[in-house]
Structures are given as structure tokens and as C-alpha cells.
Structure 1
Amino acid sequence: MKSLPNYTEAKNTLSTAEKIGQFFMPAAFINDTEEEIHALEDLIRNYGIGGICFFHSRASAATNFEGKKEVLRNEQSFDTLKSLIKRYQSASKYPLFIAIDAEWGLAMRVENTPQYPYAITLGAFTGKEELIYEVGKKIAQDCLAAGIHWNLSPVVDINNNPNNPVIGYRSFGDDREQVTQKALAYIKGTESVGILTSIKHFPGHGDTSVDSHLGIPVIDKSKKELLENELYPFQKIISEGVDAVMVGHLSVPALANGSDTPASISREICTDFLRGELHFKGVVISDALNMHAVSKIYPVPGELEWLAFNAGNDILCFAEHVKEGIETIAINSTAKQLEETFERVWKLKVKAMGNPFWKGFGELSDSSKLNKEIATESITVYHGTETDIKSFRKKDFCTLTLKRSQENALKEDILSFLEEAKQETKQEKNILLLVTPPKVKPANQFGFFQEEIDFINAMLEEKKVVLYYFGNPYSLNLFDVKKSVATVLVYQDFTEFQDVATEHFLGKIKAHGKLPVSLT
């Protein structure tokens, strides 16, 4: 990797245009065509951008959030990622920041890489924060193995809205203390091997029913209410020290003098409140600027980039109009703005590039042992008791597994399976029911067809059912689980979690987990 001059040298060496270029972090896609790769290399060479943020593919990017385009698997994505990082670094005059969203591991963006449990699963146990520290550390080691400096996580939103379409399972829960302590453990684990972090989505995306990828959520609460809840984790973590804060595309009038301007482009929120009142001295990074909450409102190239910068964002993530953005910022900004932003960005870059752990981590982590420990701590009896399960176990029972073998299974195949299952269990009185929701996100009833929901509810009504549920607990709202003999939340469908569920059903282990959110 090319050497990086220190801040003083860079301050006196880089031109104004080069300094502004350092504020831009456009998207890079692992599964781009060669033509698209060349286009990004040219962007890096011609405009001196400061960094890139990796996504799986253009079909999986933020504005395609609900899967309107087919996302193709690439079994060699990790090798492709490493190769692209080298290519893009070679094209840059100065070393690039390489960032990625890896909240639960590189697997969030990259096939065949280690996946760790979702934040909601980590929220299901009290104490044992050393396990969350290890999650942060192992994910950071995987970032090192790829050549990534910056994991844009953790999420510190308090998910206190069961209908939240975009946070949900990405949050540690709905309790401010739990969210704060678990996020701190994750951050410390990440920092232990020199990888940067960023808490998000300031000032708090938890209590929304609108997805900011697609529209503008409005948080209509008083400043006092926000300080007592949504802002609490941000305040505490900022006081402990954190590299960066990512600002979301949320309208929060109480923090913006009554304005409904999204936080990401509000100077009242990014500068006056975050820097002024909360005393944050680090780097402020925007949420993806291609997200429809803001990109549809400001279609003129360069306008949104300027507004985000002028609001107080140091790094413009997923900026789509680099040339025009640099030109507009150069015309409109003050010398003081430019120098203060450049100093923050460059000093963070020096910190990242000087990471002593770059030598020593070449292999991806092994997730199995840690995932097993987390599965054991998080498994939760949501309804009924372990005594109920023990009594059930002594009876004759039938085991039925409802899990899609293919993510995009045809409805007619599902209906055929349900009819067969109905006939096979017709004479059975006791059912051990193992259910994995098709999707972790709430859109379209978590991927369930209504016929599947009706089938499960009919079984709960008519049979003695012990339910083991391997998915997002919010999706339990679709079912009459209070009619079960017992319902056990396992949270994930990893092999390790399946093994722990088996051990629990057989009475070999006790469930110590606690539901980290409230269900309606």
C-alpha cells in the first residue's frame, strides 16, 4: 500500500479539490462488470476520492431494498472483494478508506464468509458481554483479512416500534441500557484489532414505521423524550469515545427548530446539536445518499452532496455525483469548513492506515464455537415452561419442520406441501413444530404466504404444539402462540442454534434468554 503523509504534510500538499475529494465515499460493488470497475477506477484517479464503501451488487443496493431486481450469488465473492480492493487502491494517489456494512459479519455483503448472530439475538441475554466483544473482534479480523478499515456498525437504534420496516432485528432491543452496553462491547471488540466503527443511525431510527431507503420517517417527539430514550445510547457512547457517527435520513423537528428537513442534511442537527450540544469531536458520516428519502428530493447533481456537507457531514457515503459534488462544495464552502473537515477525515485515515494489526490476520475467522455459546445463552422460553416441555416429551408426538428449501419457492409447491402435512398430521394429537420464517425483514409478512400462517394457527388451535421458532421474534405476532403448550425462541437457523434447540428440547440445557423487545 502507498504511504500516507501525516496531517501536517497533507494539509500543505493537497490542493483544495484533492481535499474535497477526500470527503467522498462512493459505492463499490463486488459483483460489478469490468466496464463498471473501470468507471470507478477512473473516478478514483480523476477526482481523488477518499474512500469507497462496498456492497454486494447493484441489485442488492439500498434503493433496491425490497428486492425488485434479482440478486445473483457469487460463490467467489470474497476473493473478488480482495482483488478489487487491491485494484482500487492501486488506482488511488493516496490510500483509500475501505468501508463496509458488516453488522453481523462480512456475510451481510459477501457469500461464504463467517456470519455471526443478529443484534436482536445478542440482545436476548443479560451479561456475558464478553461474547459480544468477541463478535466485534472476530468480525474485525475478517475485515482485516479482506483489507477493510472500517466496519460501519453497530446499530444503536432502540427498536421500540414493532412495525419498524428496516431496523428491527438489527437493533439490540428496546431497552436503552441494554442497547448501550451491548453496543459498547461490540465497539471495544472491533477496536481491539484496530478496525474503525461508526454508531448509527443518529439521532435514532428505532421508533419509525417508514423505511428511509424508500421515504422520510418522521420522529415526532419532544427533545426531552428523545434525550431520555433515542439519543441515550449516542450520548453515552460519544462520552466513551467513538470514531464516527452516521446520521440517518430522518425528520426530527424537535432537534431542528421545528423543521422537517432530514437530519442528514440539517445543520441544526449535524452541527449545532451533534457537535455543539453533544460535544462530538469525531467524524460524521452520512447514511447512503442514494436512499430515496433524500435522493428523490434533490435530483440536481451536486446539490445533495453540498447540502450534506454543509450540514456537517465529513464523509459523504454512497455519493452518486462526485464531480458535481466536488465542484459545488468548492464554490459554496468556506476555507474554515474545508480545513476542519479535512483535518477530521485525514487524521482518522492516518489512524486506520497505521493499524499495527494489518500484519498477522490473513484468514477468515471460525464462527462455530462462538455461535454455539451465543445460541446457548440466548435461547428463550417465550410461552409456557420447561416443565411443560418435559411433560410433552414423555408423550407420543410427531415432528413437523416448516422451512423453505428454496428462498423463492413457488406458492403452488408450498400449498402442496401444506396439504400433505395436513393429511400426515391429521390423526396426531401432539406436534413438535419447528418453524423458520422465510425472511428476517417484515415486508410481506416476513415472506410467509397467508396459507402458511393459517396452517400454523390452525395447528396451534387444534393440536398440542411445542413450537421452536428459528427467526425474528417480531414475526411471532403473526401467530396465536399463546395457544401453544410452549413456544421457544431460537432466533437464528444456524446449525449451532439448531443443535442448541435440540439439546434444550431433550432437557440437556436450560433456557436463560429473555425476549429483548416487546411483542404486541
Structure 2
Amino acid sequence: MPFSVRLRLLACSLCFLLSFQTAHSQTVPSFLKANPRWVDSVFNALTPDQRIAQLIMVAGFSNRSKGYEDSLMTLIKNYQIGGVVFFQGGPIRQARLVNRLQTVVKVPMLIAIDGEWGLGMRLDSTVRFPYQMTLGAIQGRDDLLYKMGAAVARQSRRMGIHINFAPVADVNNNPNNPVINFRSFGEDKESVARKALAYMNGMQNNGLLTSLKHFPGHGDTGTDSHYDLPLISKSRQQLDDLELYPFRKLIDAGASGVMIAHLNIPALDSTPNLPSTLSHKVVSDLLKNELGFGGLVFSDAMNMKGVLKYYPSGVADLMGIEAGMDVLEYTLDIPRAIAEVKQAIADGRLLQTDIDARCRKVLAAKAWAGLDRYKPINLMNLVRDLNEPESNVINRLLTEEALTVLKNDKEPSGEPLIPLLNLGTKRIATVSLDADQETYFQKMLANYTAVTHFNLSAATADTTLERIRNELKSYDLLLVGVHLSNIRPAVQYGVTPKTVAVLKELCETGKAVVSVFGNPYALDKLEGLDKARGLILAYQLTQFTEELAAQLIFGAIPAKGKLPVTVNQTYKLNDGISTPALSRLKYTIPEEVGVDSYFLTAKIDSLMQVAITEKATPGGVVQMAKDGKVIFRKAYGTHTYEGLTPTKVDDLFDFASVTKVTTSTLALMRLVDEKKFNLEKTMADYLPDFKNSNKANLVWRDVLTHQAGLKASIAFWVDTKNPDGTWKDKTFDEKQHGPYKVQITDNLYMHRRYRKTIFETIRDSPVSAKKDYVYSDLSFILYPQIVEKMTGQKFEDYLKQNVYEPLGATTLTFNPLRFYPLPRMVPTEYDSVFRKTLVWGRVHDEGAAMLGGVSGHAGLFGSSNDLMKLVQMYLQKGYYGGKQFISPETITEFTRYQFPEKGNRRGLGFDKPTFTYSGNAPRFASPQSFGHSGYTGTFIWIDPQYNTSYVFFSNRVYPSRTHTKLITLNIRTNIADALYEAIRRGPSSNLASILATP
């Protein structure tokens, strides 16, 4: 044996001993112990050339031509390459290509990907988790990063990927860093180490190899190593104190891989222009020996200018192996690389034992990753499996935790502006900058209250800008979204001069709350933010950041995030203002409350399809919430059987008898709280005209539970007809004139004095001596009079000013044609008897129509979302959006069984489940639940035991009220039961783990 070789063997032995002594406290990567029998068997079957090839990873793309794929296959077959690192492509295409490539190798290849934010970093149609800079803002929820890592591992394994080149462990303390920047967790080394560790453990503990990068630290560079060789002029002490800190922590914790960056660091190796990738002092002396790392050492991509600028391909690959590299990523010239390594062995510059040891290490990694039991990727349901709803939950939770409030001015009351209170007192406009159409941000803001949208982009004409500028003057608050389409410093983070100018002008109005959807360093490029009333940093532009920032503004979620970097003297590391949640509805997916969205959606879709097919209703809207979170909101069918107008979730429906519990009962509860209305008093106490009637002594508690003996209803319009079918005098006319002012239809007007006749008819109607349960409309027609007398306000004004507008339920209204276009409303019935026309945009109930459309028993219209706000307020014991509308005691009293001993199921105004199932309520509803149904096909149900609320809209009376299948098929309650079933099924094991809070 040549002396030089013996000397090298001795040196290696000494290095091993030193490494063991240094690293004895470190956790040994678990893959090193995987299936040694398989490793030995495979290793012994490999030729020397093939052992070298096991240390090489070629680049792969699944979005290129068949010719490219054929050439890649030939290369891999000829050289028996050890692995492929995939870049752009799609999941099905890549899976097919991987399956094809694996057929031509003796040893299954390791498949790698740069998936710093999940597979979506490289593959379309897959999950994109937040950037690491976004995650750096999260406080105290490292468990979520672990769960993200576990999800990335599940998706990677399903995709046939064995290594993720992540996490980034670089400390980004250079705002102008062109390559790391948003890919880092931030500038605080402790936070970077902690978060990288959580992410790494989530992946490794779930079967995915990882690779920390970019050793020894790429965070303080002003040069992109893809295009040049960065120089880091720090001292060894500075590197130890900062850059190396996270790597030490993660190596000690058992990191399976480390990627070496192309950096020139004289403090570590003074050789001029030598990339750290090719430095024995960096790779072997520092990483392996001093830090005791025993896992896989990967090069950064060997096609980058950071390495090729001074060393040609092939030569650079050999130097990487000589430096101590285990795996060369993205080798450009594979034949030359293998030839160079072989020649170095022949020359004694490299030992075959070095190559063999590294080859065994790679084979051990393959065994750990399951390649000792290789199976092709199953293409069945691949895209669906890669987009598991659990990942959607993690994405939402991570984004929610990261959102950071950096400015929050006080209101005149002394309360912080964010979250917004007192919704009924402000005119609000939304302004999305750099967006030429309505954004997710704007759509979500509109879920909370009435807002007017404005969009401005680089293409917006100056004349349009001037018009918008003038229109915005009439608004009290401007909710501004800055939608930055680029996150990289090289293009100013997507900030344009026009954006800067318009934003500055908006902030100077003193009315702007600004949400920035972009890189935190972009704050330094945006002028005028100091004059904004509020500032929210969302870190990047995604559907999740836009929707959740909007929810934060309205208090559906709190603000918890802190800046992970220092931007300038104004916005510094760890800045961030906490804001509370206000118990407003949050909008999310079923999985966030432990419900399987596939199951729930399939059940509801099926039931609605039956309803439409059986002509139980032409269409409808279903909305559900659990735990204060809207988890289902979907429209079905069309407005009519004949029409082509699809039903939309924000369509307005006639509530019918749901009006009873959303107007009259609501007002009475507030009056009870104010001690103006006493349930034990009689009709005569509050209705002077009834003092001498047969109803004078009827007690309100009995009346509200429908056991006072009142008639079920009165067809008031019937008495207005003469025997020959003409209208009686002083009843109706086809034209509006004189006293005929109450519009019923476009061609029918009622005499204004006939309203008095309606109330007199109720007063003089018979009362049954039997006080049995008989559902009656009559008392609810009277409640508006009581409310107006006690409050001094018109019934509708009282409800809107005191409840609907503060709730943000601005579509709740009588006579909606005053405010909304007809196409937004769903028609009810073609009335062939009384009104002789299609009832559309006006109340269906004849009695309510004769009362001018405003009554306490029917006539309210609105959207499902706005109704759910009121319903949710009931569920939350009268509290919503930071305001107590009704006392908990009163809610409890009105929604309990009042006379169960009599077999009466009713609460006060509210319906409740029958004592033996009859279909009026969901089969699985609890005794604490309550709600109401409406004749036109509406339904609400609230269940405190399950913390659920449910709104169902349909127009089942179209085209005629003879259509009763919606009722006989129990569509409304069966859909509610789908939610109960979904809740009872419980979450999957993966989901349960994600939802568990440490």
C-alpha cells in the first residue's frame, strides 16, 4: 500500500475518533441503522462505478417533452444514478415519470424535492404552506409547524418522494438578501432554531428525510449564489454566535441531512474563490468533525454559478466529494464527474473506502425511506390525496397565528379601532390596490357588514382614479388591501410608484386601515403608513392571508403575530399588537371543527339533489356553523324550475314565519330585558283596544306558546271580495290614487284605512275555551304595535338600529325592493287567487302584504349569512361582535320548554323538538335546541349542546303552495341531521392530531 494511502487511512481513523469524541452527545440520525442486511446485499452487487453513481442526483422535470424524458431515462439507465431531484411539474406527470424511471435502475432511486413550503413549491395542484418568514411571526405554536412537517411528509410519501431539501436554517439578518429573505424564519437565531426543529421533526418523525440548508449560513448575503459566488466576511466568532447556531441545535437533535451552500467564507477557509461546497475545512473539518454530523451531506445544486464560476462541472463534483460530500445534487456532467472520481481513486487522492462508506450511507437512507420494499406510486386519487383537507386546516391555522397588527389607533371612545365595533355607525369602503377585480379580501370583508368595493391597479385610468377619490370622501372608514404580486427584493417586492402614491393619499385621509399582503421588508418601500389608522401585515399574498386578514379586522379571530425581522427604525423585530376576538362568525372549512367535509358535503348535496329532482323546491341555500365557525355555505338549483338564474349564497329569501323569531320575539326579548314587557301580564295591559274583548285576560306566556286559544290564522283578504269577484268598497283598487296607497303588487293597492279593519278583525275573532296547543299567527301581527308604543320607534327602525345594523346583518329588511335589485331576490308563488301575479320581491303572506309588507309574523327578507349572524347571537346567549344584545337569562327563558307537562313543545316564540319525533326538528337535536320553520320553505335551528347553528332557505311554494314535498320528505331537518351525523363520526386520526392543542 502506498505511503500516501496509509497516511490518509491513519488521518481518517483519527478524524473518526475525534468525531466520535465530539459527537458522542449528539442524536445519531435514525436512518443509519436501517435494514443493514439489505444494505449489504445491495452494496455487494454494485460495481465501483455504480457505487460512485449512488452519490449523484440528477435534476428532473415533469413538465417537459417526451424526448426530454427519454433522454433522462437513458442517462439514468446507463449510469445507474442514485437519485433524482425534481423541480417544476405536476403530480400525475411526475408520478408517471418516476414510475417509469425506477424501472431502469437496479437500486430504486431516492426522489428529492425542494419543498420548503410543501410540494406546492415545485408541483402544481398541490398544497402550498406559508413561507418560512410568515411562520417566523407565529408565537408559541411550534406544534403547528410540526404538524405542517407531518403533512408535508404524508404528501411526499404519497408522491413517492423520500427527501425534502428543507427546512431553511439560515438566519436572515440582511434585509437585502436576494435569495434567502422570505425563505428564512427570521433574524432571531433562537426562533429560527426552534421553528426549524419543529418543522424538521414533523417530517422526519413521519418518514421523510430532510436536509438543513444552507450550511454554514446564507442569511447575511447580498449576492444570489445562483448567479455568483457570495462573499461572507464575518469572523469565526460571529459565525459561531449567529449563523451556525441553528445548525448546531438541529444536528444535535438528529438531523438526517445537511445541504452545503456555495459561499466563500475566508474565516472558515481562506482559499480564494473557493465555495464552501468544495471546502474540506467546511464540509469535513467543521460539519462532520467539529459539529459531529453523521447524516447525509448534500451539495447545493451543482449547476449554480456560485460553484461553476471558478470550477467547471465534473471537476467541481470531484472537489465536492474530496471535501466530504455524500451526495451531489444537480450534477450537470455526470460522465465527467464519475470519470474524475475514478481517476482520483486511481491517483490515491481519494480512497475507495470513502466512496464505499458514503454509498452505504445512501443505501441506508433508501432502506429507511422504504425503498427496500419499493412499490410504484399509485395514481388512483393521487391529486385528492395530496390535497387532504387536513392541510387546509393547518394552512389556515398557521396563517391566522402569523397575522401581525403593527398599528391600531384609538377611537374617540378610547377603544382600539381593530377589531371594528359598532358596525351600524360607519360607512365603510374597501379599496384593493394592484387588483383589477374583486379580491378574496374584499369578498370576506363583505361577509361582515355592508361595504362598497373599489379596485385600483396600474392600468386604472387617471379619470377613474379621480372619480374614486371623490367617492371615497363620503365614507367613514377605508379598508385598504395592498396586494403585492411579488415577494422578492430584486423587483422591489412588487411595490410600484403608483401603489406608493395612491396608498400615501389614502392614508393621509386619516380613515385608512391598511393590510399589506407581501414581504415584510416591503413596509420600508410604502410611504404614509404612519398616517394609517391601522396596519396589518399578512406577509404574503394568498387566499388564506386575504380572507383571514379580513376576519381579523372584524374580530372573528385575534391578532397574535410578531415581526420576525427588523424592517427599519419604525418596524422592528418582535413588534406586534395583540387584538381580541369579538365572537363574530369565522369562515372556515368543516375540518377545523373536526367534521369530515367529504361526508358532510356528500350528504347535503344528495338531499338537495333529491329535493330539486322531486320538485320539492327549485333551489335553495344551506348554511351551517359550529363553534362560531361557518363551515358550510352553498347554493343549489335555480330561482325557478323554468328559469336559468342560478341560486346564489347571497340571494334574498322571504323568511315567512321565521320572521316571528327574527322580529317580534327578538324585540320582546329586548323589552323583557328593559323590564318594559312582562310575560305574566295580559293582552289588555299592552293593547288598550283589547280591554273589552274576549282576549283581554289572555296571558302573554300562553299567547307566545300558542296555547291561549287564538285562531290559527285569518284570511283577511277574503272579506274584501264581493260575490261577483269585484273588490268591496274601500278595500282595493288596481291603481294608486287618493287613499289607495298601500301597494300590494304593481297593479293592486289597498285602502290605507283597511289596516285598522285587520286589527279589529283579530280583536273580535273567537277564542277557544280549550287552551290546547294551536299554532297561531295572530298575536305576532300585534307585536309591532306594542314595540312601537314602548320604544317610540317604528318597528322596522327599532330592529335595524338596535340589532340588525350593529350585527352587520344589513340585508335583513322588510320590502327589499326599496334597496335591492329584483334579480337578487328569489320568487315565491304565483298567486292565482288574490294577487293574480307572481309574488317576487314582495312578501308572500297575504296578511303581511296587506299591512304594507311589515308585520311581526311574516315579511322579513334577507340573506342566509345575515340571518346566521342573528341566529349565532341567539346561540351565544345574546352576545355577538363585542355587544350584549339580549341577556343570557332572557335567551334561556325564551328558548326553554314552557309547558312540557301539557305536551306543549314550544318555547316563547321559538319552536323546539317534539317529545316524540315528528319531523318538526332534526331527529338528533338535543332538548336544549330551538328554532323555527317558515311556510315558504325556510328553516333555522340552533343547538347549544352541539354548539351549532343552521339556516336553510328555499322557495318550496314555487310555483304553487300545493307543492308540499319539501315537508313530506323532511328535507330541511334531514339536512340538519347530516351535520349531527358528521359531528358524531368525529375527526380522522390525522385531523384529531392537528386539532389537538398542546
- The CA deviation string for residues 458-478 of structure 1, in whole angstroms up to 9 with x for no partner, is 333355321011222111111
- Partners in 2 of 1:281 and 1:97 — Cα distance? 19
Whichever residue aligns with residue 465 of structure 1, its letter is A
Distance 2:130 2:499 in 1: 26
Q: What is the DSSP-based 3-state SS (H/G/I as helix, E as strand, rest coil) of the residue aligned with 2:340?
A: helix
* Aligned 1:432-447 pairs, distance under 5 A: 432-447=479-494
2:355 matches 1:343: no
Letter in 1 for 2:525: L
Alignment partner for residue 396 of structure 1, among 407, 423, 427? 427
| 1:275 aligned onto 2:288 | yes
Contact 1:4/1:94, CA 8 A, preserved across alignment: no
Amino acid at match of 1:510: P
Aligned twin of 1:456: 503
- Confirm or deny: 8 A CA contact 1:4 1:95 kept in the other structure: no
Query: After the TM superposition, which of the residue ranges 214-223 and 396-405 deviates more from structure 2?
Result: 396-405
| 1:516 counterpart residue number | 564
The higher-RCO structure (CA 8 Å, 6+ apart) is: 1
Which blocks of at least 5 consecutive residues in structure 2 are unaligned? 1-34, 345-349, 411-415, 438-455, 569-998
8 Å CA contact retained: 1:154, 1:200: yes
Q: 2:548 aligns with which of 478, 500, 507?
A: 500
Q: Map residues 31-42 of structure 1 onto 2, 5 A cutoff.
A: 31-42=63-74
Contact 2:278–2:323, Cα closer than 8 Å, also in 1: yes
Query: Match for 1:487 among 528, 535, 544?
Result: 535
Q: CA deviation at 1:6?
A: 2.2
Partner secondary structure for residue 229 of structure 1: helix
Which one of 203, 206, 214 corresponds to residue 227 of structure 2? Answer: 214
Measure how far apart 1:416 and its partner are.
2.5
- Give SS of 1:400's match: strand
> Could you tell me how far apart the structure 1 residues matched to 2:175 and 2:503 are?
21
**Alpha-carbon offset, residue 286 of structure 1:** 0.3
| 1:139 Cα deviation after fit | 1.1
> 1:301-340 alignment to 2 at 5 Å?
301-332=313-344, 333-340=350-357
Percent identical:
36
CA deviations 1:39-79 (Å, max 9, x no partner) are 1101111111100000006xxxxxxxxxxxxxxxxxxx211
SS of 2:331's equivalent in the other structure is coil
Distance 1:428 1:187, change over 3 A: same
Q: Which amino acid aligns with 2:478?
A: I
Corresponding residue for 1:150?
163
Instruction: Name the structure 2 match of 1:62.
Output: none
| 3-state SS of 1:169 partner | helix
> Could you tell me which amino acid in structure 2 is paired with residue 434 of structure 1?
G
Q: Is the 8 A contact 1:418 1:455 kept in 2?
A: no
Q: Residue 470 of structure 1 aligns with which residue?
A: 517
Which of 78, 81, 84 aligns to 1:46? It is 78
Indicate conservation of the 8 Å contact 2:483/2:518, yes or no.
yes
1 CA distance for matches of 2:292 and 2:36? 29
- CA root-mean-square deviation: 2.5
Residue pairs, 1:108-127, within 5 angstroms? 108-127=121-140
What is the deviation of 1:334? 2.1
The worse-fitting range, judged by mean Cα deviation, of 324-333 and 495-504 is: 495-504
The verdict on how the C-alpha distance between 1:5 and 1:34 changes in structure 2, with shifts beyond 3 A counting, is farther
Where do residues 217-232 of structure 1 align in structure 2 (5 Å cutoff)? 217-232=230-245
Return 8-17 or 355-364, whichever deviates more. 355-364
Matched, 1:166 2:179: yes
- 1:134 is aligned to 2:166: no
What's the CA shift string for 1:431-464, capped at 9, x where partnerless? 2111121112222112333222232233333553
1:381 is aligned to 405
Query: Displacement of 1:297 after TM fit?
Result: 2.4
Query: How far apart are the structure 2 equivalents of 1:251 and 1:426?
Result: 56
Map 1:82-93 → 2, pairs under 5 A = 82-93=95-106
| CA–CA distance in structure 1, aligned partners of residues 497 and 121 of structure 2 | 28
CA contact (8 A) 1:389 1:485 kept: no
- Which ranges of structure 1 fall in alignment gaps of 5 or more residues? 58-76, 407-411
**One-letter code aligned to 1:484:** A
Secondary structure of residue in 1 paired with 2:311:
coil
Shift of 1:419: 5.5
Q: Is the 1:404–1:438 contact (alpha carbons within 8 Å) kept by the matching residues of 2?
A: no
Query: Secondary structure of the residue that 1:431 maps to in structure 2?
Result: strand
1:416 aligns with 460
CA separation of 1:405 and 1:266: change in aligned 2, threshold 3 A: farther
8 A Cα contact 2:420 2:555, kept in partner: no
Which residue of the other structure, out of 83, 107, 117, is the alignment partner of 1:104?
117
Match of 2:675 in 1: none
| Shift in Å, 1:209 | 1.0
Secondary structure of the residue aligned to 2:491 is: helix
* Deviation of the 1:403 alpha carbon: 3.9
Contact 2:435 2:457 in 1 (8 A): no
* TM-score of the aligned structures, taking structure 2 as reference length: 0.47
Per the TM alignment, residue 390 of structure 1 is displaced from its structure 2 partner at its CA by 4.9
Write the letter of the residue equivalent to 2:427.
D
TM-score by length of 1: 0.89
CA contact (8 A) 2:434 2:499 kept: no
- Offset of 1:356 from its aligned partner? 9.0
Alignment length, in residue pairs? 493
Cα pair distance change 1:129/1:225, threshold 3 Å: same
Superposed displacement of residue 327, structure 1: 0.6
Structure 1 pair 121–254 and aligned structure 2 pair: CA distance change class (3 A): same
More divergent stretch after superposition (201-210 vs 367-376): 367-376
CA distance in 2, matches of 1:460, 1:116: 32
